[in-house]
Amino acid sequence: MDHAAPGEFFFRLPGLPDVFAEFGRPVLVLVHPEVGSVCLFGTGGVDGSPWTVDAEYVDQMGSEVNRLALVRTHRPVESRVVDRDPVGLLRSALSSLLVSELGARAAGDRGRALDDVRAVVDAAEVHPAVVRIDGVAVDCLALEAGGCRGLVAEHGDVVVTVVLAVEPVGRVELMTVPGTA
């Protein structure tokens, strides 16, 4: 049986090493995802440049897919349309997760649902918190809205947002995907 060294399995997934190489910055993931969850990777770009790498954790019961957590790593980009404010990035990520959950339940008036979610998230108070990144306690900001919890921290020149749809067992810990630092 072939065993991978810790973290090496990320580079065995077809296409993922190319995503990491193009991103060119550390990519963060959960150290302790929910048991039974699957991690899906996605990317976002702006003005033709990579801007985010998402590690989204989901589970599936029958035909129902549940979003459990989203870890979004943002790299610096030169653009007039990008908001690099960490709290703004956190509110956006939290709104995105909540809207997709609402959209799955109420396919009707998605525009109104989006406005309602944004109003709730924008009204949520931000407070100081701590997240562990690569074993080190890092000051961050947190907020709760719509039954979800979000955290945002700066890590070198990247900003990482974490949105949790379920309360984690234990504390939230992140790690840098080996080979992306």
Tokens of residue 12, six digits:
């065995």
Stretch 30-36: mean pLDDT: 85
Taking only the tens place, the pLDDT of each residue in 120-161 is 888 999 999 999 999 999 999 999 888 889 999 999 999 999
Confidence of residue 4 (pLDDT cuts 50, 70, 90): very low
Q: Distance between CA atoms of 147 and 156, rounded to whole angstroms?
A: 30
pLDDT in tens, 46-100: 888 889 999 999 888 777 888 889 999 999 888 777 778 999 999 988 888 887 7
Burial of 181: CB neighbours in 10 Å, binned 0-12, 13-18, 19+: exposed
Model pLDDT, residue 181: 73
Residue 171 has pLDDT above 90, yes or no: no
CA distance 143 to 156: 22
- Is a pLDDT exceeding 80 seen at residue 119? yes
How far from 69 is each of 32, 55, 98, CA to CA, in Å?
A: 11, 8, 11
Lowest mean pLDDT among 5-9, 37-41, 108-112, 170-174: 5-9
Cα–Cα distance, 162 to 46 (Å, whole number): 20
pLDDT at 177 over 80: yes
What 8-state DSSP symbol labels residue 14?
T
The more confidently predicted of residues 115 and 13 is 115
Encoded tokens for 23: 């991103």
pLDDT at 1 over 50: no
- Quickly list DSSP for 118-138: HHHHHHSPPEEEEEEETTEEE
